[in-house]
Amino acid sequence: MQALKSIVERAFEERFGSEAQLFASPGRINLIGEHTDYNGGFVFPGAVDKGVVAAIRPNSENEVRIVALDLNEECRFGLEESDKPEASWAHYIFGVCREIQKRGYTIGGFEAVFSGNVPLGAGMSSSAALESVFAFALNELFACGIDRFELARIGQSTEHNYCGVKCGIMDQFASVFGKAGCLMRLDCRSMEFEYYPFDPAAHGYRLVLVNSCVKHQLTGSPYNDRRLSCEKVAQALGREFLRGATMAELEALGNTISEEDYKRAYYVIGEEQRVLTVCEALKNNDYETVGRCMYETHWGMSKDYEVSCEELDFLATVAQKCGVTGSRIMGGGFGGCTINLVKEELYDAFITQAQERFKARYGHEVAIYEVVISEGSHRM
């Protein structure tokens, strides 16, 4: 993200007339474990080499002035609840400010310029990168002393309270805690985590995202309804979360739950086990098992959780026909990317097939992003 640093730094000096401090937070991929985080289960993300860079300087006023370079827009707001700005992109920053204050910490006004290179709508959590860079930066600049876990929670609370999405903790956690060359298994119930070295290239594989460049509705009802289904089944099982529930317990509920709620829970319970299976497989460099679990996740998200779409199912099918080891939806669903684990010798043919067949079917091109696992939030 060094190129972004130069752009943001120069833009800040042009707009505000002096130097600022530079901070960066990445987007993320998630190898396995979708929609498990808000169910108290396990996820397995990693930070990537694309993210958000912000130049920030505190001021002596009680006002925030933000320039969003990519949108060519500027926004000003105060730090009281009644000062919430109209611009939707500014809600992420305003929310971070308010969530820090709600926790009893004192921050002041500031000027900032930011830019990002996380592809929007690709399921790589550009919003978490934006929240994380400002949470991390404000913590540093105003000497709040907030630990990284709480910084991640601040980002999550911003989504809940200011952006209308009841997300789990994974996206913000990955952005804040990322480590180059490692994926992280996070227990979303206990918040314990472990780094797992991840080097597919050393074993003849490449990890690549294929972006369908389509995005269907996610915020509001579709996402939150699925969360509610999981909560209803957990309550029926006498649990706080679906975490730890078994298929036998689910089956025992019979017709006391709806067919829709059953399907949502069936996917989540299976996905929790797949995360653990993948972690064990990676200890043995068993990438074939990793790939099998990725496909199981994709079709579970498509048929049971129903957060796929025609375009993503098409890409997963193309991957299977090309002999790709593993492929699945990445992110909340309803569009965005597939994440693909591809043998080196099959890579070029797969990319060509995905590009050509998708364009022939849907009339527009996919975008290709190779993944490099990178560092989490940091000062540049």
- As annotated, the active-site residues are 171
Task: Please choose, from the candidates 379, 376, 380, 378, the residue with its C-alpha nearest in 3D space to the C-alpha of residue 186.
Answer: 376
Q: How far apart are CA 106 and CA 94, in angstroms?
A: 14
Which SS3 state, helix, strand or coil, does residue 234 take? helix
d(CA 360, CA 357): 5
Q: Rounded CA gap, 243 and 43, in Å?
A: 12
Return d(Cα 139, Cα 143) in angstroms, integer: 6
How crowded is residue 152: how many other Cβ atoms within 10 Å of its Cβ? 28
Parallel, antiparallel or unpaired: strands 205-215 and 182-187: unpaired
> Which of 159, 26, 169, 10 is closest to 94 using CA atoms?
159
Q: What is the CA radius of gyration of the chain?
A: 21
DSSP per position, 70-106: TTTEEEEEESSGGG--S-HHHHHHHHHHHHHHHTT--
DSSP string, 323-342: T-SEEEEESSSSEEEEEEEE
d(C-alpha 191, C-alpha 184), whole Å: 11
Q: CA 39, CA 354: separation in Å to the nearest integer?
A: 33
How many Cα atoms within 13 Å fall on the side-chain side of residue 69? 22
Beta-bridged to residue 349, according to DSSP, are none
DSSP codes of every residue in 271-308: HHHHHHHHHHHHHTT-HHHHHHHHHHHHHHHHHTS---
